[in-house]
Structure 1
Amino acid sequence: MTELPHDPAVAPELPMGARFDPVTGAELVGAGSGARRQSFALQPGEPVASFNLVSSLLPLAAGTAPQTYRWALGIGILIPVVAGALGFLAFAFVAAALVVPAVYVVYMYDVNQWEDQPLGVVVGAVGAAAALGVGFTFLWHAGLLRESLSPVDFEGNGSGFSWTTFLVLVLLVPIVSEVLKEVGPILLARRPAFDDMIDGLTFGVAAGAAFAAAETIVVNRGLFSSFGQMDSPNAGFWVSLILSAAVVKPIVYGAATGIAVASFSGLGAGYDGFKPAYFRGLAEALVANVLFQGGLYFTARVEGTTGAVLGLVWGALIAAALVVRLRYLLHYAVLEAALEASATGSSLKDTVHGTAYCPSCEMPLLVGANFCVACGTSVRAGNKVARARNRAEDTGYADETELAAPPPGRPALEPTPPGVAPRDNSATAIVVGAVVAAILLGGVIGQLAAVGASDDVDDRPPADTGITLDPGSGGGELGRAPAVQFGPGERTVQAAGSDKILDLGDGVLMLVPKGFRIDEPGPGFVQVFGFKGYFFAYLTPKKSTLTKLITSNLTGISNMGVQDLQITSPQAVQVTGVKGASTLRFQGVLATQQGGTIPVEGFAYYFIRSNGTGATAFALYGKGALKPKSKLVSGYNTMLNTLVSTL
């Protein structure tokens, strides 16, 4: 910091009507005179305790271009929301992931946050976080958890709650992610050019948003397939997930990391480093991340749109709390840095040295000022043109007693001439256009990837996947099982070793082989799980038709949370002892905010019995799980054929 004379005799006289101290920013008039607890230092028109994203997360644009970035954020969010509502899900999720990172990169250029070192800042704050996010997310999503992330329990936990999944998602993921997000920003904050608290905050938010973008794209990679476009999407469900990806997650991740890295930077010149203030900020970030992930875990247990909306609301509450905390941190950091400089007789990096104007109200600033005396805006809340002008000396002074400072470093842009107020050089159309172009480009690439990887639902009948309909073999298995003893006019069901035989009623039996667990037996219904696949069978006691059975079954599968259900054309099959039978295959996708999108598939058989009543048997499993000669295929064949043999 530069030494400044502090003799009151040479200090500039305050103009009439001055409301704020030009050096410390303290209020001079009004009920809040002295301590400044109400008006935000970077945008005095807002209270400190408010949820304003631009002045909180993009503080250097708070004075000169707040509306510009509100437009950029608003239009940026609208693009993926509209795309998702129209069914272009691959486009929507990639675009949503890029909203906040795109705004931040444009912002850092606009305000020259990288101090003419764009490559190092972008790589350190954005690139490193994105790369680490991709690697770590693949590790836990595709490696550690896989199917256990599905809202349908493919891990066989019965109640749907798994301690392993819970601990990974609610403790391991947020803790490790936070550490990885801070690597690049902390390395940048150790450099003299970026040791200011606002620099640390900005790089932390940028890294958090980039990490969130990488995570969103990786967990939703299942959309880079035929599921990337849906003809009739559940708009409420998908828009909730998209808003979470576009707004809530990047704000939570970014604000949490911003708090921690800003605490690492500390006040004034030089960084504070790993001191108690940093560990307090880190603890706040970790608590916020754990609460966020914990809430998403439990809201994902609620099916359908309700669960998605609850997750969005929970995330928004965490994001709001973090933004308010960040505002208080920024507010007091700016004021305390100015107060410290005043007490030590030094100046801050952006203290006014020549003719300069307020970035917000454009009133002239006093030489040596850190704040506008009229509106109280910090001189930090300006773009690169305004701050370059603040740092530049005039060619001469009318009064030699005016405060002077050594020649500043090379400004980012040519400063405006003395006597001319610098205008916001970031035309709204240019900033918004750059953000929109980046989002559209990312979305188009995502949709093209989905088109290139898409495949139609497999039209092969279940028999071609190893599923064989053979009632004779099923009857033979039941006959060999010692659990079934045929008495005169009745059937007695007993336990048979590790195999189990279920009586669905009306004389219908089903053999459940070893390795499968009966989850929900009931009159006329059974749900069985084993080898990461489900098998369901139920009876329709009233007379029915194949069309009615198919419609009812597909509705039930959709109600389980399977989105974009795609089916093959039903095919008739010949089965001895029944009046009619049909089969089809289906595929769809399960999705949550936390687990992303998981493709699933299955097959179904429908039967009209001799008395006109119906029976349905269907299976549901992760895409690609049904492998020939696997225990899953063998078990499905046993259950299906023993069931059919008793219809």
Structure 2
Amino acid sequence: MPSGPFCVRCGARLGRDPGAAEPSHRRREYAAAPHEHVFSVRLVSTLFPHLPRVSMHGFRIALGCGSGTVVLLGVLRILPVAMFAGALLVPMLTLLYLYDVDIYEDEPIRVVSMTMVWGAVAGVGVGLLTRAVTATGAAFAVQGKGTTVLDQGILLPLLGLALILLGPLALLRWRRFNDTLDGAIFGAATAAAFAAGEVITYGFSILSGGLRPAGAVLPTVARLLTIAIAIPVLEMAAVGATTGALWLRVRAPVRDRDALGVLGNPYIAAIAAAAMVAVGFSLEPLIPIGWWLASLAALDALALLWLRAVIHVGLLQEAAEIPIGPPLRCANCGEETPRHTFCINCGVSLQALPKPPPSRRPASRDRPAEAGA
């Protein structure tokens, strides 16, 4: 075993005495970003775990600037532009992330079709259904007074959740996408596109109120923040955790399938995700918009912690017992590390880094069309 600060097989911090190192399952450094604690609420490193540390800063800046722009447009009362910009903020960052880290492994059409495209189409469909059964108009950007707990709080969100899951499930049979991280990212990307499609379709009637419809500024800004951040993050994290648990159960070795405990059961994970989404949406007509935003933020934090646990456990459990290969340069710290599962210098999972160019990759995994779940 090569000597260094971290174990290349399990990612545990070795220190001066490797024999005294804690077992990998007790590791508290987040496997996708070792400079962060696994149980910390971090948006970028959780939703976009393949990013090297330097790239995470850029995505945080982009997210902050985009959110600030949406808020500014809301303060200026340019609501249609603010709503569309807010709805597209996180999905556009997600699409940029998929391209930047090459998550689709030379299968861009299939992956993008089954995630972003399917999510957008499903979101448009649910948005049209929502318009048919609930009130719409310029009041949408201030407070959803026409909503009810049953239809827009429970039934429609659960229908949307079921539709979101169909896209990633279509990719489960392709063995080249056999990592838990693949499943989590596929689910999160589909949910991001779904949230945008639903909001834009349902809120399109806001144009009938003109460029600057009447309404108080603070409720409008709060509503825009739910559109831009709170709702997509909740759906991305809840769905990503569910699909990650499904990938861990179906694709991981049998000995690793109980690593997540109860939430590692895909059925229980789906129920938990449905409960979080239903609670989040059902509170909208019951409480003021500011309190609803705060409630969504709390649910976002819980969902992000859940998704981090899924990604962390998945990366630790999938450290295959393979021979240690020739050195490569870690995209996270820039130092050379033996080719295996974790960087020997910074402890990051090499699976949670951008894919190398095709010419530098090892032989691709088989992808038999008949490989089913």
State the TM-score bracket (shorter-chain normalisation). 0.7 to 0.9
2:102 aligned counterpart, secondary structure: coil
* Larger CA deviation: 117-126 vs 28-37: 28-37
**What is the aligned partner in structure 2 of residue 60 from structure 1?**
50
Alignment of 1:367-386 (within 5 A): 367=339, 369-385=340-356
**What is the aligned partner in structure 1 of residue 364 from structure 2?**
409
RMSD: 2.9
Q: Deviations over 1:461-514 (max 9, x none)?
A: xxxxxxxxxxxxxxxxxxxxxxxxxxxxxxxxxxxxxxxxxxxxxxxxxxxxxx
Q: Deviations over 1:78-123 (max 9, x none)?
A: 2222222112111110110001110111111111111122222222
Q: Deviations over 1:205-247 (max 9, x none)?
A: 11111111112112222211243324x7633221111111000
Larger radius of gyration between Structure 1 and Structure 2: 1
Distance 1:374 1:388 in 2: 25
**What is the aligned partner in structure 2 of residue 458 from structure 1?**
none
Aligned pair in 2 of structure 1 residues 264, 123: CA closer, same or farther (>3 Å)? same
Matched residue type, 2:79: L
Aligned pair in 2 of structure 1 residues 20, 153: CA closer, same or farther (>3 Å)? closer
Cα drift, residue 189 of structure 1: 2.4
Alignment of 1:495-510 (within 5 A): none
Question: Aligned pair 1:365/2:355, yes or no?
Answer: no
**What is the aligned partner in structure 2 of residue 445 from structure 1?**
none
TM-score when normalising by structure 1: 0.51
Does the Cα contact within 8 Å between 2:105 and 2:355 map onto a contact in 1? no
Does the Cα contact within 8 Å between 2:54 and 2:332 map onto a contact in 1? yes
Q: Deviations over 1:395-415 (max 9, x none)?
A: xxxxxxxxxxxxx239xxxxx
Matched residue type, 1:333: G
Alignment of 1:36-47 (within 5 A): 36-47=26-37
**What is the aligned partner in structure 1 of residue 279 from structure 2?**
291
Cα drift, residue 271 of structure 1: 9.8
Does the Cα contact within 8 Å between 1:256 and 1:285 map onto a contact in 2? yes
**What is the aligned partner in structure 1 of residue 308 from structure 2?**
327
Distance 1:52 1:276 in 2: 22
Q: Deviations over 1:26-76 (max 9, x none)?
A: 232389722433111111110011111111110111445211211221222
**What is the aligned partner in structure 1 of residue 23 from structure 2?**
34
Alignment of 1:295-306 (within 5 A): 295-299=283-287
> Among 165, 170, 174, which residue is 1:191 paired with?
174
Question: Aligned pair 1:234/2:206, yes or no?
Answer: no
1:366 aligned counterpart, secondary structure: strand
Pick 1 or 2: higher relative contact order, CA cutoff 8 A, min separation 6. Answer: 2
Does the Cα contact within 8 Å between 2:74 and 2:221 map onto a contact in 1? yes
Matched residue type, 2:233: I
* Larger CA deviation: 357-366 vs 124-133: 357-366
Question: Aligned pair 1:245/2:227, yes or no?
Answer: yes
**What is the aligned partner in structure 2 of residue 595 from structure 1?**
none
Matched residue type, 2:28: Q
Name the one with the larger strand percent: 1
Cα drift, residue 276 of structure 1: 7.1
Aligned pair in 2 of structure 1 residues 366, 254: CA closer, same or farther (>3 Å)? same
Aligned pair in 2 of structure 1 residues 110, 268: CA closer, same or farther (>3 Å)? farther
Gaps in structure 2 of 5+ consecutive residues: 258-262, 366-373
2:345 aligned counterpart, secondary structure: coil
Aligned pair in 2 of structure 1 residues 372, 120: CA closer, same or farther (>3 Å)? same
**What is the aligned partner in structure 2 of residue 222 from structure 1?**
205
Aligned pair in 2 of structure 1 residues 268, 111: CA closer, same or farther (>3 Å)? farther
1:45 aligned counterpart, secondary structure: strand
Does the Cα contact within 8 Å between 2:242 and 2:273 map onto a contact in 1? yes
Cα drift, residue 201 of structure 1: 0.8
Question: Aligned pair 1:263/2:245, yes or no?
Answer: yes
Distance 2:245 2:13 in 1: 26
**What is the aligned partner in structure 1 of residue 62 from structure 2?**
72
**What is the aligned partner in structure 2 of residue 211 from structure 1?**
194
Does the Cα contact within 8 Å between 1:380 and 1:387 map onto a contact in 2? no
Aligned pair in 2 of structure 1 residues 268, 185: CA closer, same or farther (>3 Å)? closer
Cα drift, residue 268 of structure 1: 8.6
**What is the aligned partner in structure 2 of residue 316 from structure 1?**
297
Matched residue type, 1:409: S
Gaps in structure 1 of 5+ consecutive residues: 1-12, 155-161, 300-306, 393-407, 411-647
Does the Cα contact within 8 Å between 1:20 and 1:27 map onto a contact in 2? yes
Cα drift, residue 269 of structure 1: 4.9
| Count of aligned residue pairs for this structure pair | 351
Question: Aligned pair 1:20/2:10, yes or no?
Answer: no
Aligned pair in 2 of structure 1 residues 281, 216: CA closer, same or farther (>3 Å)? same
2:364 aligned counterpart, secondary structure: coil
Alignment of 1:102-251 (within 5 A): 102-139=92-129, 141-146=130-135, 165-230=148-213, 234-251=216-233
Distance 2:303 2:203 in 1: 26
Matched residue type, 2:108: P
Q: Percent identity?
A: 28
Does the Cα contact within 8 Å between 2:252 and 2:318 map onto a contact in 1? no
Aligned pair in 2 of structure 1 residues 276, 333: CA closer, same or farther (>3 Å)? closer
Matched residue type, 2:75: A
**What is the aligned partner in structure 1 of residue 85 from structure 2?**
95
Name the one with the larger helix percent: 2
1:323 aligned counterpart, secondary structure: helix
Cα drift, residue 288 of structure 1: 0.8
Does the Cα contact within 8 Å between 1:267 and 1:333 map onto a contact in 2? no
Q: Deviations over 1:174-229 (max 9, x none)?
A: 22111001111110222122232111111111111111111211222221124332
Does the Cα contact within 8 Å between 2:125 and 2:198 map onto a contact in 1? no
Matched residue type, 2:246: F
Distance 1:213 1:181 in 2: 12
